[in-house]
């Protein structure tokens, strides 16, 4: 069984993330989505909330598992026996950072491959920061995120969404 992990902050998960996961499902037997705990970042949503939103958004995919993880991703990848780490590339601006991370991961764990997947072009401009900013001003996010995320964002910013009605 070929397993891969798809690590990220997913704060919040977007349709672009879901698209990358769907592409990974087509290539591998199991995809383990790992929600990162980054002490250097304060998220809009807690790790538990992000895990729950991902689980709800991916319920139709029995070969996808969602877990929280803290530490080096290559250590976790070794521990659970995956063949690779999925990384999404939206635009050329993502490439430099992702390339550096892939090279470092290769130095740390040469046996674990980095697999770059591009989302559908309709998601290439989309990222979690844009979604958070849009939601803070009560903007419509329904075309960009799964329904559970839309609901959670409206709960997080009720006054902004009430003002737009």
Quote the pLDDT of residue 123: 92
User: Residues 23, 87, 128, 152: which is the catalytic one?
Assistant: 128
Looking at residue 37, its pLDDT comes to: 84
What pLDDT was estimated at residue 154? 92
Q: Which residues contact 106 (CB under 8 A, 6 or more apart)?
A: 114
3-125 CATH: 3.40.50.620
The answer to whether 128 is a known catalytic residue is: yes
Quick check: is 17 catalytic? yes
| Distances, alpha carbon 104 to alpha carbons 33, 73, 78, 139, 161, in Å | 20, 11, 15, 38, 42
Order of strands, edge to edge, in the sheet holding 84-88?
64-69, 30-36, 3-8, 84-88, 113-117
Q: Which residues of the chain have pLDDT under 50?
A: none
**Per-residue confidence (pLDDT) for residue 40, from 0 to 100:** 77
Answer yes or no: 79 catalytic. Answer: no
pLDDT for 108? 94
Give residue 165's pLDDT: 63
Q: What pairing do the DSSP bridges indicate for beta strands 84-88 and 64-69? A: unpaired
Cis link prior to 20 (omega < 30° from 0)? no
Q: Which among 41, 107, 143, 165 is annotated as catalytic?
A: 41
Whole-prediction pTM? 0.93
Residue 77 three-state SS:
helix
- Domain residue spans of the chain: 3-125
23 is annotated as an active-site residue: no
Catalytic choice (50, 87, 90, 152): 90
């Amino acid at each position: 069984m070929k397993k891969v992990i798809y690590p990220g902050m997913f704060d919040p998960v977007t349709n672009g993330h879901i698209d990358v996961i769907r592409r990974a499902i087509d290539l591998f037997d199991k995809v383990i989505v790992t929600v990162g705990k980054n002490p250097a970042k304060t998220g809009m949503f807690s790790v538990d909330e992000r895990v729950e939103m991902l689980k709800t958004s991916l319920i139709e995919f029995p070969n996808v598992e969602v877990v929280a993880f803290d530490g080096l991703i290559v250590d976790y990848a070794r521990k659970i026996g995956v063949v690779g780490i999925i990384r999404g590339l939206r635009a050329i601006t993502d490439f430099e950072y992702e390339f550096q991370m892939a090279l470092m991961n290769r130095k740390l764990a040469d046996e674990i491959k980095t697999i770059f997947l591009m989302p559908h072009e309709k998601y290439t401009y989309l990222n979690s920061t844009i979604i958070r900013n849009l939601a803070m001003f009560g903007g419509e996010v329904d075309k960009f995120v799964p329904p559970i995320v839309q609901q959670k964002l409206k709960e997080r910013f009720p006054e902004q969404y009430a003002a737009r009605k």
